[in-house]
Amino acid sequence: MTETIRLLPAGENAMMAELSDLAAVQDLHGTLTAGPDRGITDLVPAARTLLLRWDPLRTDRAKIEQLIATHIGRAGHRPPGREIEIPVVYDGEDLAEVARLLGLSVEALVARHQAARFSVAFNGFVPGFAYMVSDDPGLEVPRRTSPRLRIPAGSIAMAGPFSGIYPSDTPGGWQLLGRTPLQLWEPERDPAALLAPGDLVRFRAIVETLAPPVPVARVTLPATMPLRGITVTRVDWRATFQDLGRAGQARQGVPVSGALDRASLKAANRAMGNAPGEATIEILNGGFALRAESPLTAIVTGADVPLSVINSAGNRQPFVVGQPIALDLGDTLELGVAQAGVMSYLAVRGGFTLAHHLGSAATDTLSRLGPPMIKPGDGIVLARRPALAVSVRSERPTPVTRSGETVTLDLLPGPRADWFTPAALDLLTNQPWQVTGASDRIGLRLSGIESLVRAVTQELPSEGTVRGALQVPGSGQPILFQADHPLTGGYPVIAILAAHDQDRAAQIPPGAWIRFRPSVAPPSK
């Protein structure tokens, strides 16, 4: 039987292939990962879909579509997976309830769980979380009606046709069978994820764990006093290190993350003579200060914030956003509260000394990867890498918005636009949406007078998401995904924010309004 593949829009340089079932997804995923480099940068397999992203400098939409068409009618290629044994203490809180749902005794459930062979279908939710399917079709139970606020790392769980192991302490609604002492996600390991798509897993009962799972390693800020270049003295809201993120890590369940306003980050580095993707300090709403422990040159781009330097004698000198600032030993650089925009980017000439994980020093607030949040008292070491000439030109690459103002943003069709009523599609672009205070690096939470109504009310199996996706939960009030969005999501995506407006969206504060304007994707190059 010839496989039918439906290609759905997912923004510029991305598309979603919808197939008949998980096996067909695995076949196509295997075909696209085998052979030569075709310019595909990321593949996000899910229950019935495969999200593809590509580099427009190496390929285009037409070539990707031809590649997929070539696959239709052929036997899928699935690379052989590793065989991995997972030791389990079967003492989960839901063990008896799962046994009851399946009409088994606890002892029979444990025996049946060990007899089954599981294969890793895809990774998602959080880094290292593997969605596994069993060769025993009877091992299927519903989610819990009430999710838990915290599930301990190492918990082995079931929901629907999938089984999984929680790599870290997270909320969740799956049924808990037991726990394992193995560390599913270890940033210093290569690969960091213990389980990868295609791996075959068997569970083996043990009496007790020798030790609980080791907490996920966190990168710490170097703070040796003689080497520090700056000391952070004030953080009113949130400050993190951000670069351009971790592209190409979807196989391990790792999203890209990185700076919310990438244009402002690049502008800061360009002005300092750094590489475009050098890590900067991303500062939410201003309210930040640092003291120079040695002479240095810095710049702040992005949001409209008051800037001043206070020297050791107490004299204050004002500066403007986008202007290089020379700091002497003991000088304090102070950012006031943002007057417009949201995110500021502080770069120093030569960069910071930071540990990189999976090729990036970005702090992913959802996946809990990268350096911890910056706090007062942190000492940060300067790398002092060779740099190009410092620019004296002030530039603001991203427009910033004040609370109460209205911004118009362009929308492209989303993969699940047909899950909504015609009235909802009209409402999306005819009604203004206010940015709420619940917004964060994961997404802008929007509020409108009327909610978006779905035409298809069935549950959507989790599928890959992209930055700029406008996801609509059951409330009908959309969420505009930003840099730390989840790799996969279970709510339909009605539209995708155009790439040229994604940085601008990052500079829209709570209280501002968004009007969406329908657009079309630019032609493939």
- Write out 66-83 in H/E/C secondary structure: HHHHHHCCCCCCCCCCCE
Alpha carbon separation from 432 to 376, 411, 445 (Å, rounded): 39, 14, 13
> For the whole prediction, is pTM greater than 0.75?
yes
Q: How far is CA 78 from the centre of its chain?
A: 27
Residue with tokens 């949201």: 342
Res 223 pLDDT > 50: no
What whole-number distance in Å separates Cα of residue 53 and Cα of residue 39? Answer: 9
Q: What per-residue confidence (pLDDT) applies to 226? A: 41
Residue, of 460 and 118, whose pLDDT is higher: 118
Q: What percent of the chain has pLDDT over 70?
A: 92
Over residues 502-523, mean pLDDT? 90
Q: Is the pLDDT of residue 476 over 70?
A: yes
| pLDDT per residue as tens digits for the range 204-214 | 999 875 455 54
Report DSSP letters for 280-344, one per residue: EEEEESEEEEEEESS-EEEEEEEEE--EEEE-TTS-EEEE-TT--EEE-TT-EEEEEE-SEEEEE
Would you say residue 80 has pLDDT above 90?
no
Predicted local confidence at residue 171, as pLDDT:
81
Confidence of residue 38 (pLDDT cuts 50, 70, 90): confident
Residues 6+ apart with CB under 8 A from 387: 272, 273, 274, 349, 350
Helix pair angle (106-115, 95-102), 10° resolution:
90
Query: Looking at the predicted structure, is the pLDDT value of residue 218 above 50?
Result: no
pLDDT for the residue numbered 16: 96
pLDDT-based confidence at 217, cuts 50/70/90? very low
What is the predicted pLDDT for the residue at 470?
97
140 pLDDT band, cuts 50/70/90, is: very high
Whether 43 contacts 17, CB under 8 Å: no
Does residue 508 register a pLDDT over 60? Answer: yes
SS3 call for 368: coil
DSSP structure class, residue 189: S
| DSSP-derived 3-state class of residue 425 | helix
pLDDT of 216 higher than 50 = no
Q: 328 CB contacts (<8 Å, ≥6 apart)?
A: 292, 295, 311, 312
State which amino acid sits at residue 191. Answer: P
Nearest to 509 by CA among 274, 337, 319: 337
Q: For the residues 308-314, what does the mean pLDDT come to?
A: 94
CA distance 31 to 52: 13
Least confident segment among 172-186, 391-405, 455-469, 508-522: 391-405
**Span 332-359, pLDDT tens digits:** 999 999 999 999 999 999 999 999 988 8
pLDDT category, 525, cuts 50, 70, 90? very low
Give the pLDDT score at 277.
95
State percent of the chain over pLDDT 90: 69
Q: Any idea how long the chain is?
A: 525
For residue 227, pLDDT beyond 90 = no
Q: How confident is the model at residue 192 (pLDDT cuts 50, 70, 90)?
A: confident
Query: Is 395 a residue whose pLDDT tops 60?
Result: yes
Instruction: Quickly state the pLDDT bin for 417 (edges 50, 70, 90).
Output: very high
Q: Is the pLDDT of residue 220 over 70?
A: no
Spatial separation of the C-alpha atoms in residues 130 and 199, rounded to whole Å: 10
pLDDT tens digit string along 418-448? 999 999 999 999 999 999 999 999 999 999 9
Mean pLDDT of the chain: 90
Query: What is the spatial distance between Cα 327 and Cα 292, in angstroms, rounded to a whole number?
Result: 7
> Per-residue pLDDT for 292 more than 90?
yes
Question: Measured on CA atoms in the order 338, 343, 347, 352, is the torsion positive or negative?
Answer: positive
Give me the pLDDT at residue 197, please. 83
Q: What is the Cα Rg of the chain in Å?
A: 25
C-alpha dist (Å) from residue 368 to 70, 124, 253, 434, 484: 39, 14, 12, 28, 10
Residues contacting 453, CB < 8 A, separation 6+: 420, 421, 423, 424, 476
Is the pLDDT confidence value at 222 over 60? no
